[in-house]
Structure 1
Amino acid sequence: MAATPSAEGDTLAYAALNELKDRLDWDLDPDELRIAAGALEDASDLAATYGRDWPEASLPRLVRTLVLKAAARYMRNPNGYTQSRAGDETLAWSDAHGRDAGSVYFTREEIRLLEELAGRKRGITSVAVSAWGTKPQRAEASGLVPVDYSPAAPFPLFGDEGPW
């Protein structure tokens, strides 16, 4: 089962709570179960944002894996600590994840994987731009090129009707 209803029944998570519990090495108490369910929903929402909103029947297996990884990462370190010391009570946070530290997040590589699974390609592309209310003119005759920037007649590209 790919998407499972939450405890409230109104939102869907891309992974089940039991799958997350299997990835953690301790038994969750009732409060941690509630937090874990929220972490799964947050990770699923992020997966839909970075990728797309996958229907339950076509959810890629890797999406479920990434959601479980993000939720387990949060459950193991909900405050985003990078260093902890018991003697002098030293705690440290890192700016490595910026505003995402202490929350459910995907790494850059995980985001790239979600984008690829959704069919999104990064890169440069060209887009035709025209002024509002203008239409490019269509050349009906062979050998004529439409002129987009003015209401002029099509421009002749070739001088004769050769077999191009």
Structure 2
Amino acid sequence: MAYATLADLTARLDWDLDDDEQRIAAGALEDASELAAAYGRDWPDDRAPRLVRTLVLKAASRYMNNPNGYTQSRAGDETLAWSDIGRDAGTVFFTHEEKRLLEGLAGTRPGLTSVVVSSWDSRIRVTDGGRVPVDYGGDRFPLYGDSVSPW
């Protein structure tokens, strides 16, 4: 269920993949596609937005270019430094911005919404035909449309 092919990924890399690297690249594409479905939604392969394919290829090529997540290498005393991305170092991952793009494509971006709140087992009590008293001493004001449907 990969959103991109191994040929697409190979075209983005600067070297020819051997058999072992092809196996790893295929796994990276699968992992990136699973993450894209988790952060976005499970699009059908033939109807996924083009940007999903692009983001999957970016994540997989980022992993293939630096599978251990190094940020620094030194030949003299063999110094290697791990990146500060934490638990994502050495794995296929999406950046924060890429996650937001996937959420936007899927329509699942978190935001504000309004929710009707009512107490448990509450009942609307209609008295006097849904009319309430007013301060000026005149006729009662109709708060509800009618006694059957108060809203």
Q: TM-score range by the shorter chain?
A: 0.7 to 0.9
- Indicate the residue corresponding to 1:104 in structure 2: 92
1:52 pairs with 2:24: no
Deviations 1:28-65 (A, max 9, x none): 01000000000000000000000000012321000000
Secondary structure of the equivalent of 1:27?
Answer: coil
Aligned to 2:14: 25
- What RMSD, in angstroms, separates the aligned Cα atoms of the two structures? 1.9
Q: Which has the larger radius of gyration?
A: 2
Aligned partners of 1:66, 1:152: CA distance in 2, in Å? 52
Cα distance in structure 2, aligned partners of 1:157 and 1:36: 71
1:13 counterpart SS class: coil
- Displacement, 1:94? 2.0
Q: How many residues align?
A: 134
The code of the aligned residue for 2:6 comes to L
Cα separation, partners in 2 of 1:152 and 1:13, compared to 1, 3 Å: closer
> Residues 100 and 109 of structure 2 are in contact (CA less than 8 Å); yes or no, is this contact kept in structure 1?
no
Alpha-carbon distance between aligned partners in 1 of 2:97 and 2:124, rounded to the nearest angstrom:
51
TM-superposed CA distance for 1:69, in Å, is 0.3
Alignment of structure 1 residues 1-164 onto 2, 5 Å: 12-95=1-84, 97-130=85-118, 134=121, 149=122, 151=123, 153-154=125-126, 156-157=130-131, 159=140
Distance 1:27 1:73 in 2: 16
Higher share of residues assigned helix: 2
Q: Distance in 2 between matches of 1:127 and 1:38?
A: 42
5+ long unaligned stretches in structure 2 = 133-139, 146-151
State the identity %: 69
TM-score, with structure 1 as normaliser: 0.75
**Equivalent residues of 2:131, 2:141 under 8 A apart:** no
> Which amino acid is the alignment partner of residue 102 of structure 2?
L
TM superposition shift of 1:152: 5.0
Q: Note the C-alpha offset of 1:126.
A: 2.8
